[in-house]
Amino acid sequence: MEQTPQIPKEKFKMIHEDDNQEQEKIGTPSLTYLQDVRRRLLSNKVATVCMVLLSIIVLISVFAPIVAPHNPNEQKVEYANLPPKIGEANIPGFNGMQKRGGKVVNAYKEVGAPKGTTYLLGTDYLGRDLLSRIIYGTRLSLIVAILATLVDLIIGLPYGIISGWKGGRTDIVLQRIIEIISSIPNLIVVILMMIILKPGLASIVIAIALTDWVTMARLIRAQTFQLKEQEYILAARTLGESSTKIATKHLIPNLSSTIIIQTMFTIPNAIFFEAFLSFIGIGIPAPNASLGTLLSDGQKAFRFLPYQMWAPAIVLSIIMIATNLLGDGLRDAFDPQSSD
Amino acid sequence: MTKYILKRILYLFLTLFIIASITFFLMKLLPGTPFTNQNRLSHEQLAIVKAQYGLDQPVLIQYLRYMGGLFQGNLGTSFQFNNEPVTQLIGQRLAPSMQIGAQAMIVGTVLGILLGAFAAIRKNTWVDTLATFISILGLSIPSFVLAVLLQFYLAFKWHIYPVALWDNFQSSVLPTLALAALPLGNVARFMRTEMVDVMSSDYIELAKSKGNSSWQVVTKHALRNSLIPVVTIIGPMAVSVMTGSMVVENIFSIPGIGEQFVKSITTNDYPTIMGLTIFYSFLLILVILIVDILYGFIDPRIRLGNGGKE
Amino acid sequence: MEKILDVKNLHVNFATYNGTVQAIRGVDFHLNSGETLAIVGESGSGKSITVRSILQLLAKNSDIPEGQILYHGDDLLQKSDKEMDAIRGDKIAMIFQDPMTSLDPTMPIGKQVAEPLLIHHKVSKKEAMDRAEEVLRLVGIPNPKARMKDYPHQFSGGQRQRIVIAIAIVDYPEILIADEPTTALDVTVQAQIIDLLKELQEKIGTSIIFITHDLGVVAGIADRVAVMYAGKFVEYGTVDEIFYNPQHPYTWGLLDSMPTLDTSEQDHLNSIPGTPPNLLNPPKGDAFAPRNSYAMEIDEEEQPPFFKVSKTHYAATWLLHPDAPKVTPPESIQKRFEKFQALKSGGSVK
């Protein structure tokens, strides 16, 4: 430290004699918010896997008429309760063998099905192909969930925005209403609605949306409250932009993360309610199947024909798990602070 | 504080009143009569039955009567089940539901807290991953699916517990487990988030700088601070357990109010449906009220009022 | 004077998503017994990380690849977790920046103050609480006996910082690390806290490492000052040397951006142009060169070593090389030089 290093003299030439404004530039490229969100989401392996899984499930549901090997409602009573069978391969559990009266027999031969008859996941008590029913059931469950979520948004979004934006007396009244609605257990509201309305797809959607929008409205309201005080919104207000314009131009884009995340949690909730209602017998009427009715049918025969329960239970669980995990992933991606 | 509690109790009754009114008029909107699916009654018989239940009166009179009865703790008379008063019906069936509900809440919350705490302390390790996995399973798999699976394996195949019976503690194990999964998942997840938050706070750093070992930091500071907010989700948890209980009681043939509710729905027993709806709402509001008051007592920031100079 | 703490060639890295951030890139300093050393620098210069590495309170993604932190000759970096626990709060204590968030919101403050005693000594709860009460009185909490049972939210910001200080000094630590203890407070409260620290230092004879980005605060409390930039020290010396005989262009910039009593309304305060370098890829040469209007070619190629200015004063700038051209510092700095001359010849500064 005490020694002076030998440095060639010409190195002591001054640079930056001129002023150095260019130093204000920021060196690293900056990512936009959405790019950042996408990067974070894609770097989350679990969320990516769930996204792929859900995409496959959605695609199968959309193309159900092409993908399903049989007509889901076609009954062949003589082929009732056949176990799963995949071609002629001898995979335990999927070889068409069944225990009957203590003996393992080839169930397909017993009912005299022609060679080559296979039901990948077996048949139910009316001889309907379980795989096709599950594909159509998933489709129906997803339709219910998506419609319910949409209705949920249609009610919850404006309600939340108005409540949060107007504040004051309007807010108090709107919040009281929400308080009362949310103090009745969701399921009871849904069940009451189901009793009053005719059973069917529309009733289920309305019943579920009627309870779920409350959560959405609450979140949107809280977020709106915060946004309202933000400077750019204040600026827009001072400049005299109309409320609708502020709502569509400034509020909704900034609410989008809340909306997307909440939607990801509403979907499994709706799927659960639908399954629940169908399970206790006030959901989707026969002969159409949803995952809930399939579960309920499966449960009745579960002790002796467990495969009829397993398949819909696994599909339902996978959808629930995947949507929940994807919701988590989205939340972390939109709001990195929530994860670290 | 006393004033606050009184105000809340007043709100409780107000809300209940509104709920009861809404339920009443919704039931009146129903098409047909509750007797249509009973052994076809003649015109005169129907009139007699209607008169017996007061259904021949104008709706307003019926409403006033019902609300008056409600005020005296009378929830009306069941159309089915030997015309038992609904209150009595609930009274007889409350105990089993309460037992499995409370057991599930305790098991779920305690295990959930432990799971969430370990996940937070061992953040981003395999412990965290495993705990997250368990809590997602608990959250995602519907209780009725779990109930059926438990019934099949633990009862039907391996004979560890009775399949569907209600007598002793043994018979409450499976329904408790099926119902505990959801609170477990929820509490674990909530606890993890809270605790991760707390662990990265300044006061935890200060606690470390005092010379507390990692273990002491957790037990003396982190745990209490993360536990307090967990109290807030106990209310919603209780509701989902109640919901789950309806089907789970059915699956395990437990003579509880959940099973009764489902039965009333399938038999169009409107007074019972109405009575149970009001009763469930009452339970829910009561639980939330108790939790709120409890929260006030646990959290010093609320207990002492925000009297500090902020 | 005894060196109680001697930090040698300290390096600290952080593993981040974008790569390794070299937050501290070779820092040397020592702390003498009973003195106050101030570390000054803008946010992100690594002051906090430097002192947190002494107590090993760094985030989990940190790594100390090189260096020694000798406390009475023992390297703290070689100690086990348990040995470090015994040092924290007992031998070396810390005061944090934000009093609003540094106290456990759900524990009465008396218990929080008594905690270090109960951890480090076999004392009864009663003894610890009595001592806590005494220390709370010492830091100026009125009526401490009654207020021991109160919770943090029942105190004002300034009072809370006094409580944080009470926690730090309750066990009479040999070294007190104060990480921007006044930044979050009102100006009037800042002065009170500085006075309190000075008073406590006299009473309990502790050495203080005081971190701040505010040079104004430094003059009031420090014996020696170290100026930090981009993970390195650039200049250190006594308070007078740094304030009135600064040698490094960065120190000039800092002093130039600080108002003094002499600053008249016509004068405008200068700022240092540009932003600190990205420590993901630290520059090869002097990190300050791109912002330095006195930079030379050598600054871009090689990091300057410390040049000795006096026995206590060193600065890392090539301008001090005998072959370097003579430069004219900013006018305000020249005024400071004049005062330094007066000071040396026995005059008073202000």
Q: What is the ipTM of this complex?
A: 0.85
**CB-based contacts of B218: which residues, under 8 Å, 6+ apart?**
B117, B121
pLDDT tens, position by position, C49-103 = 999 999 988 888 888 998 999 999 889 999 998 999 999 989 999 998 888 889 9
CB A134 within 8 A of CB A294: yes
- Determine the average pLDDT of the residues in C315-337: 84
Phi, psi of A13 (to 5 degrees): -75, 135
- Determine the average pLDDT of the residues in A112-130: 72
C-alpha pair distances (Å), C309 with each of A1, C32, C247, C306: 11, 20, 8, 9
Q: Which residues of B touch C101 (CB under 8 A)?
A: 201-203
Whether the predicted pLDDT of B304 surpasses 60: no
Residues of B near C (Cβ–Cβ under 8 Å) read 201-203, 205-214, 216, 220-221, 224-225, 228, 299-301, 304, 306-310
Residue in A180, A184, A306 nearest the CB of B152: A306
Residue in A2, A12, A16 nearest the CB of C298: A12
Touching A (3+ Cβ pairs <8 A), the chains are B, C
> A236 is in which domain, residue-wise?
48-339
Touching B (3+ Cβ pairs <8 A), the chains are A, C
A131: its two tokens: 């795989």
- Determine the average pLDDT of the residues in B187-203: 90
Distance from CA of A62 to the nearest CA of B (A): 23
Please answer yes or no on whether B213 and C102 come within 8 Å at the CB atom: no
C19: left (phi > 0), else alpha (psi -120 to 50), else beta?
left
Interface check C30 vs A, CB under 8 A: no
Angle at C177 between CA C312 and CA C56, to 5 degrees: 105
pLDDT tens, position by position, A144-165 = 889 988 988 899 888 988 888 8
Buried b / exposed e over B80-109, threshold 16 CB at 10 Å, is: bbeeebbbebbeebbebbebbbebbbebbb
Which range among A31-35, B111-115, B222-226, C97-101 shows the weakest confidence by mean pLDDT? A31-35
Q: Is residue A30 part of a domain?
A: no
pLDDT tens, position by position, A32-62 = 677 778 888 888 888 889 999 999 999 998 8
User: Which residue do the tokens 């919603």 mark?
Assistant: B236
Please answer yes or no on whether C89 and B203 come within 8 Å at the CB atom: no
Give the residue among B258, B249, B288 at the shortest CA–CA distance from B276.
B258
- Give the bridge partners for C37, in sequence order: C209, C224
Interface check C333 vs A, CB under 8 A: no
* Structure-model confidence comparison of residues B266 and C305, the more confident one: C305
Distance from CA of C114 to the nearest CA of B (A): 10
Buried b / exposed e over A132-167, threshold 16 CB at 10 Å, is: bbbbbbbbbbbbbbbbbbebbbebbbebbbbbbbee
Whether the predicted pLDDT of B159 surpasses 50: yes
Whether the predicted pLDDT of C190 surpasses 50: yes
Return the top range by mean pLDDT from B18-32, B35-49, B158-172, C119-133. Answer: C119-133
Q: Is residue A108 part of a domain?
A: yes
Please answer yes or no on whether C116 and B307 come within 8 Å at the CB atom: no
First CA to last CA across chain C, in angstroms?
Answer: 29
**CB-based contacts of C98: which residues, under 8 Å, 6+ apart?**
B202, C184
Q: Is residue A210 part of a domain?
A: yes
CB atoms closer than 10 angstroms to residue C324: 20
pLDDT tens, position by position, A183-242 = 777 777 777 777 777 777 888 888 888 888 888 888 888 888 888 777 777 888 788 788
C-alpha pair distances (Å), B54 with each of B49, B61, B270: 9, 9, 14
* Structure-model confidence comparison of residues B246 and C18, the more confident one: B246
Interface check C338 vs A, CB under 8 A: no
Among A11, A25, A39, A42, which would you mutate to test the C interface (most chain C Cβ atoms within 10 Å of its Cβ)? A11
- Determine the average pLDDT of the residues in B139-148: 86
Give the residue among A153, A275, A143 at the shortest CA–CA distance from A215.
A153
* Structure-model confidence comparison of residues C281 and C29, the more confident one: C29
> How far is Cα B264 from Cα B283, in angstroms, rounded to an integer?
19
The CATH code of the domain that includes A122 is 1.10.3720.10
Residues of A near B (Cβ–Cβ under 8 Å) read 179-180, 183-188, 191-192, 195-196, 268, 272, 275-276, 279-282, 295, 299, 302-303, 306, 309, 313, 316-317, 320-321, 324-325, 338, 340
- Determine the average pLDDT of the residues in C275-298: 80
pTM of the predicted model as reported, rounded to 2 decimal places: 0.81
Residue in A188, A196, A317 nearest the CB of B277: A188
Q: How many CB pairs under 8 A join A and B?
A: 98
Whether the predicted pLDDT of B279 surpasses 80: yes
Structure confidence at residue C69 (pLDDT): 92
* Cis amide linkage into residue A8, ω under 30° from 0: no
Give the residue among A286, A310, A317, A320 at the shortest CA–CA distance from A131.
A310
- Determine the average pLDDT of the residues in A16-29: 51
Q: Is residue A282 part of a domain?
A: yes
Structure confidence at residue A340 (pLDDT): 40
What one-letter code names the amino acid at C341? Q
Whether the predicted pLDDT of A338 surpasses 60: no
Please answer yes or no on whether A7 and C298 come within 8 Å at the CB atom: yes
Dihedral over Cα of A271, A276, A282, A287: its sign: positive
C14: its two tokens: 């952080």
> How far is Cα B77 from Cα B60, in angstroms, rounded to an integer?
18
Whether the predicted pLDDT of A293 surpasses 90: no
Return the top range by mean pLDDT from A130-134, C222-226, C322-326. Answer: C222-226
Please answer yes or no on whether A16 and C297 come within 8 Å at the CB atom: no
First CA to last CA across chain B, in angstroms?
Answer: 21
Whether the predicted pLDDT of A337 surpasses 60: no
Distance from CA of A334 to the nearest CA of C (A): 17
Query: What is the overall mean pLDDT for chain C?
Result: 86
C-alpha pair distances (Å), A135 with each of A82, A264, B252: 18, 21, 29
- Which residue in chain C is spatially nearest to A23 when comparing CA positions? C274
Q: How many Cα atoms sit within 13 Å of C251 on the Cβ side?
A: 27
Phi, psi of C177 (to 5 degrees): -105, 120
> How far is Cα C271 from Cα C276, in angstroms, rounded to an integer?
13
> How far is Cα B51 from Cα B110, in angstroms, rounded to an integer?
52
Q: Is residue A36 part of a domain?
A: no
Q: Is residue A4 part of a domain?
A: no
- Which residue in chain B is spatially nearest to C170 when comparing CA positions? B210
Structure confidence at residue C117 (pLDDT): 93
What one-letter code names the amino acid at C196? L
With bands split at pLDDT 50, 70 and 90, how would you rate the model's confidence at B40?
low
Structure confidence at residue C350 (pLDDT): 44
B119: its two tokens: 């996940």
User: Which residue do the tokens 């600190």 mark?
Assistant: C276
Interface check C273 vs A, CB under 8 A: yes
Domain count within chain A: 1
In percent, the amount of chain C with pLDDT more than 90 equals 34
Residue in B148, B266, B281 nearest the CB of A183: B281
Interface check C149 vs A, CB under 8 A: no
Give the residue among B116, B114, B171, B182 at the shortest CA–CA distance from B146.
B182
Angle at C317 between CA C315 and CA C318, to 5 degrees: 135
Buried b / exposed e over C38-73, threshold 16 CB at 10 Å, is: bbbbbebbbbbbbbbbbbbbbeeebebeebbbbbee
**CB-based contacts of B227: which residues, under 8 Å, 6+ apart?**
B113, B191
Structure confidence at residue B306 (pLDDT): 44
- Which residue in chain A is spatially nearest to B132 when comparing CA positions? A325
Among C102, C125, C147, C209, which would you mutate to test the B interface (most chain B Cβ atoms within 10 Å of its Cβ)? C102
Q: Which residues of B touch A183 (CB under 8 A)?
A: 15, 19, 281, 284-285, 288
CB B282 within 8 A of CB C134: no
> How far is Cα C73 from Cα C3, in angstroms, rounded to an integer?
9
Among A7, A13, A25, A339, which would you mutate to test the C interface (most chain C Cβ atoms within 10 Å of its Cβ)? A7
Interface check C323 vs A, CB under 8 A: yes
Q: Is residue A173 part of a domain?
A: yes
- Determine the average pLDDT of the residues in A12-17: 68
Structure confidence at residue C304 (pLDDT): 86
Residue in B19, B261, B268 nearest the CB of A184: B19
Whether the predicted pLDDT of C347 surpasses 60: no
What one-letter code names the amino acid at B175? P
B284: its two tokens: 């829910």
- Determine the average pLDDT of the residues in C20-39: 90
Query: What is the overall mean pLDDT for chain B?
Result: 82
Structure confidence at residue A170 (pLDDT): 87
Phi, psi of B228 (to 5 degrees): -55, -50
First CA to last CA across chain A, in angstroms?
Answer: 43
Cα–chain-centroid distance for residue A224?
Answer: 24
Query: What is the overall mean pLDDT for chain A?
Result: 78
Give the residue among C56, C91, C50 at the shortest CA–CA distance from C236.
C50
- Determine the average pLDDT of the residues in C20-45: 89
Strand A103-106 relative to strand C36-40: parallel, antiparallel, unpaired? unpaired
Give the residue among C192, C248, C257, C245 at the shortest CA–CA distance from C220.
C192
Q: Is residue A192 part of a domain?
A: yes
Interface check B267 vs A, CB under 8 A: no
Whether the predicted pLDDT of B6 surpasses 50: yes
Residue in C106, C115, C153 nearest the CB of B308: C153
Please answer yes or no on whether A183 and B239 come within 8 Å at the CB atom: no
Whether the predicted pLDDT of A303 surpasses 80: no
Whether the predicted pLDDT of C224 surpasses 90: yes
SS3 category, B244: helix
